[in-house]
Chain A
Amino acid sequence: ILNVEQSPQSLHVQEGDSTNFTCSFPSSNFYALHWYRWETAKSPEALFVMTLNGDEKKKGRISATLNTKEGYSYLYIKGSQPEDSATYLCAFDSGGGADGLTFGKGTHLIIQP
């Protein structure tokens, strides 16, 4: 059974502050690491799919890094805004998608005005 852990479980951040959270995953049989944002009453939306060790991806104020050798990825949000409030899920892909993704439980982020 693959183990994907996310921390913290929940996080309250003041508007304008920057924040980050962690996803840890098995360091063997790595194919890709996915990040999704899931707003309440909506569908999960892909942020990043990362495949290369040392890779860093950015989308607006959100960025992510990947360390496949030690099995962790960080998600950073710079200058948090209320619309960033959501659950952020990471998912480990060991087989190019055909084996399904193994998700963590998510980090629930609340931005306080």
Chain B
Amino acid sequence: DAGVTQSPTHLIKTRGQQVTLRCSPKSGHDTVSWYQQALGQGPQFIFQYYEEEERQRGNFPDRFSGHQFPNYSSELNVNALLLGDSALYLCASSSGLGELFFGEGSRLTVL
């Protein structure tokens, strides 16, 4: 049973560019959440997708957007990248309430 998979694992972008990160949830999970972990901080909630809709959003600007597909996989898009967007981006899946299952993350470096 494959767990949560994320791609790419590492990427480097320059300021102003756009990036797309991808996530496949654990089999049987219909809910996907995205978190940003900046250096020295705990993971911060970006948004959550359920039934292809954004259900809830944390305190992130509109440059951060997402999508969920009918197979429950998800994408996180960040436009107009800033240096401060450099972080580890974690995807987590769940089925309803309870524990989250995380991927290993996508490490984004913005130069």
Contact = CB atoms under 8 A, between A and B. Distances in A.
B42 interface: yes
Nearest to A31: B97
Contacts of A43: 3-4, 90, 102-105
A46 B48 contact: no
Contacts of B59: 1
A34 B101 CA distance: 12
Contacts of B56: 95, 98-100
B94 A97 contact: yes
Contacts, number: 63
Taking residues whose C-beta sits less than 8 angstroms from the other chain, chain B's interface range is 20 to 34
Taking residues whose C-beta sits less than 8 angstroms from the other chain, chain A's interface range is 20 to 34
Contacts of A95: 56
Contacts of A42: 104
Given A44-B90, A44-B102, A46-B100, A98 B42 contact: no
Contacts of A34: 99-100
Interface of B: 3-4, 31, 33, 35, 40-45, 47-48, 55-56, 58-59, 90, 94, 96-105
